[in-house]
Structure formats: C-alpha cells, structure tokens
Amino acid sequence: GDCIDTGDTALWTTRAVLQSLPPLAQHYAVRLLCTEDPVPEDTLLSWLKPGSREAHDAAMERLLSLRILLSPSEDDGSGRLPGTQSSATLVNGTTLSIRRRKRPRPQGSSVVLNPHFRRTLSASLYTPHEVPWRHRKKLKADPAPPQAEEIDEHMHSRWDQVLKFLVGAPKVEMSEKVESFLLRTNLMVPVAPGDINEVDSEDEEGGERIRISPRGYEFLLQDIHVQMWRFAQEYISGAGASVDATPGGLRHFSAETVLKFLFQLSYCRVGEDYPVDALSHEEQLLLDDFVEFGFIYRRYCSL
C-alpha cells in the first residue's frame, strides 16, 4: 500500500505529501477539509476561472492517483481501497510517484476527501509545531558546530570511498553493511572461478571476491544526486536490507518506514542539529545506514 493507505497517522508525512502537490491540487485538498460529503466535480470547476480545465484535470489526476480524493463508492470510512495495489517510486530525482491502475473518471462525477488524509492533515495543520523535532528536548549547544562546507566535504569523502570500493580500488575497505548493500542491489557481483581481474575486491581474510557489475558501471556515470536517490529507491523497494548486529543477520526496512524517514528528513536544514530520539527504533537503525554511506552527518553530544 502507499503512504496514505497504511494507517500511519504521522502528521508530518501527510503534510509533506500536501506540500508536494501542485498549487491547485493543494487548494482542492485544503478546501475539501471543510466537508465530509461528496462534492460534484462541477463544483470544483466553479471555483476556477474560465479556461482552467487543463490545470483542473492535472490536479484531479494527481489527487486521484495518490488516493487523496476518492469516489463515493470507494469511501468506506477507512481511506483504504481493498483489492488494489500500488508502488512507491522515486522518479526524476525528486518526485514521489504512486503508480496504480488507472480507471476512467466519469464526467460530472463526485469526489470525497480520503478520510484518513482528512484526519491527519487536519491534525497537522492544527499542531503548534513547525517541524517534527520542535516539541523534543533541545540539544546542548555545540561550541564548534560544523559548517555547511564541512558537512558537504564529509559526505563527498564517505561517498567517494564507496565508489572507489565499487571499482575495486586498492586499499579501500568497506563495512559488511556497505558490501552487503552493493551485492543485494546488483551493483557488484561475486566473481566466478577463473574470472579474476585487477578490479576485483576481496576482504582481508581472503573471503569471496566481488567485482563491479554492468549495472554498477551505469550507476557510476550518473550524477551524484541521482545516485543518492537511486540509493533511497533501493531501500524503498526492499533491496537495501542492512546487516544486523547478529552475525549473518539482516534488517529489512518496510517501504512505510523508509518513506516516513525520508519525509521527516525533508524538514531538515543543512547545518542544524536534530535529536535522534525523535525517530522510532526502526528509523534510528535506518539512520545508521544513511550515516554509514555519508548521506547524514552525525555528531555525538551529551544532553
């Protein structure tokens, strides 16, 4: 299911979804908060200036595809639609798209705001906190906070190490967590016997040799921001399982956990501190992975 249908009442996820909508779609969603009754589509059109049909159709397509709007026959009060499936995919680097089977939309039909979306959006708009961390205990002031340039340099340094390991650079060591991710995402593959070459990587104890795959070469040629979103997409799809503390164990993060974590990150500003205890246990484990790859800068301090 998608982020609206999971039953997750995270206010910040709903607000992030609202902020990602086109302006007209936002207008429809907020205005429909005032009623629980079905509203004819002609009524929505009456709110617009003449000649706005194209913008209206685009807004409706977005709201219906995300199931923010439902037809009265779909609304059972839960916001869920049994028997349908959807998948979350990061496309074009920044856009979250929920793909699902399209159904014809009869002209002159009525729509109703998804009940779950209405409840969480209403609560989100009434909360006195601007971001998820404002109500948490304040962190102790850092006497020498890192500058944005330092954080950027740290991120590039950590990520460059991953890319060097990917191409088999000598004397580059990676944790089991990183190696597992590269194998599970097929960016690297085990080397078949008799197929050893100079770009293979091997652990210090003479373990299994691995090498970059054709998919890995394609990954290397992409822009660093695209690489990061590809990384996030692998976690959403379930390929980004992380090595657990138990030897040989793996942690699997649900798409819901990853999406909620990413939505919360969207409220962060580079260089500002945010308390880790604002995250759930699963999100803190996911945070460890993002720190490992250099996507998040983490400092330790006493509260």
pLDDT digits (tens, 9 = 90+) for 101-112: 455 555 558 999
Query: Which structure tokens are listed for 22?
Result: 């086109």
pLDDT value of position 91: 34
| Domain boundary assignment for the chain | 11-126, 148-292
pLDDT digits (tens, 9 = 90+) for 174-231: 888 888 888 888 999 998 766 655 455 554 445 568 899 999 999 999 998 898 888 8
Query: Which structure tokens are listed for 279?
Result: 């995250």
- Token pair 């969480």: residue: 120
Contact 180, 188 (CB under 8 A): no
CA dist 274 and 255 (Å) reads 23
What's the DSSP call for residue 201?
B
pLDDT value of position 88: 35
113, β-bridge pairs: 69
* Nearest one of 166, 175, 34, 186 to 112, comparing CA atoms: 34
CA dist 179 and 201 (Å) reads 10
Residue type, 210: I
Task: Reduce the DSSP state of residue 212 to 3 states and report it.
Answer: strand
Query: Which structure tokens are listed for 7?
Result: 């039953």
Would the pTM of this model clear 0.75, i.e. be above it? no
Residue type, 236: I
CA dist 65 and 100 (Å) reads 7
Q: Which residues of the chain, if any, have pLDDT below 70?
A: 1-10, 75-108, 128-139, 193-208, 239-251, 301-303
- 33: exposed, middle or buried (C-beta count within 10 Å: 0-12, 13-18, 19+)? middle
Following DSSP, what letter does each residue of 272-287 receive, concatenated? ----GGGS-HHHHHHH
With a CB cutoff of 8 Å and minimum separation 6, the contacts of 56 are 24, 44, 45, 48
pLDDT value of position 256: 81
Which H/E stretch holds residue 69?
A: strand 69-70
pLDDT value of position 187: 92
Residue type, 244: D
